[in-house]
Amino acid sequence: MKKIFLLFFVLATGLAIHAQPDTSHVQVTTFNVNDATEHWLNTLSGAARAKSDAYFEGGYWLILWNTLYAVFVGAIFLLGGLSKRMKAIVDRVKNVNIQNLLYALLYFILSWILLFPLSIYQGYYREHQYNLSNLTLGGWFKEEMIGLSVGVILGSILLTLVYFAMRKAGNKWWMWAAGICIVFITFIVFVAPVFLSPMFNDYKPLAEGPLKQQILSMARANSIPAENVYQFDASKQSDRVSANVSGFGSTTRISLNDNLLKRCTPAEIRSVMGHEMGHYVMNHVYKGLFEMSVLLVVLFAFINFVFNLITRRYGDRLGVKEISDIGSLPLLAVLFSLASFVFTPVTNTMTRTQETEADMFGLNAAREPDAEAHVDMMLSEYRKIDPGYWEEIFFYDHPSGRNRVHMAMQWKAEHLNEIK
Which residues of this protein are in contact with Zn ion, per CB under 5 A? Answer: 355, 358
Residue 273 or 358 having the CB closest to Zn ion: 358
As a whole number of angstroms, the distance between CA 346 and CA 304 comes to: 20
Q: Are 316 and 45 in contact (CB under 8 A)?
A: no
Give start and end residues of each alpha helix (H) in 42-95: 46-78, 82-90
- Contact predicate 406/363, CB 8 Å: no
Q: Which residues pair with 253 in a beta bridge?
A: 246
Question: Of 376, 362, 361, 367, nearest to 416 (Cα)?
Answer: 367
Which residue lies nearer to Zn ion by CB, 350 or 358?
Answer: 358
Alpha helices in 321-400 (DSSP H): 329-342, 344-366, 369-379, 389-395
Q: Give the nearer residue to Zn ion in terms of CB position, either 150 or 289.
A: 289
Residue 343: what residue type? F
134 CB-side CA count, 13 A: 9
The span from the CA of 100 to the CA of 404, in Å, is 47
Residue 287's contacts (CB-CB under 8 Å, 6 or more residues apart) are 354
Sign of the CA dihedral with 304 first, then 306, 309, and 315 last: negative
Q: Which amino acid is at 417?
A: N
The residues with which 229 forms a beta bridge, in sequence order, are 254
Q: Which is nearer to Zn ion, 358 or 416 (CB)?
A: 358
Query: Measured in whole angstroms, how far is the alpha carbon of residue 397 from the centre of its chain?
Result: 7
Residue whose CB is less far from Zn ion, 333 or 358: 358
* Residue 360: CB minimum distance to Zn ion, A: 11
CB of 319 to Zn ion, least distance (A): 44
Pairing of strands 253-257, 229-232: parallel
Residue 222 Cβ, how far from Zn ion at the closest point, in Å?
15
SS3 44: coil
Q: Which CB atom, from 269 or from 358, has the smaller least distance to Zn ion?
A: 358
194 CB burial (10 A radius; 0-12, 13-18, 19+): middle
Taking the complex as a whole, how short is the minimal distance between the CB of residue 355 and Zn ion, in angstroms?
Answer: 5
Shortest Cβ 272–Zn ion spacing (Å): 9
Residue 374 Cβ vs Zn ion, minimum distance, rounded to whole Å = 17
Which residue, among 91, 140, 85, 79, has the nearest Cα to 107 in the 3D structure? Answer: 85
Least distance (Å) from Zn ion to the CB of residue 366? 14
Q: How far is the CB of 274 from Zn ion (least distance, A)?
A: 11
* Closer Cβ to Zn ion, 352 or 402, answer by number: 352
Distance between first and last Cα of the chain: 30
Using the minimum distance from each CB to Zn ion, give the nearer residue, 127 or 355.
355
Distance of closest approach, residue 375 Cβ to Zn ion, in angstroms:
11
Nearer to Zn ion, 275 or 406 (CB): 275
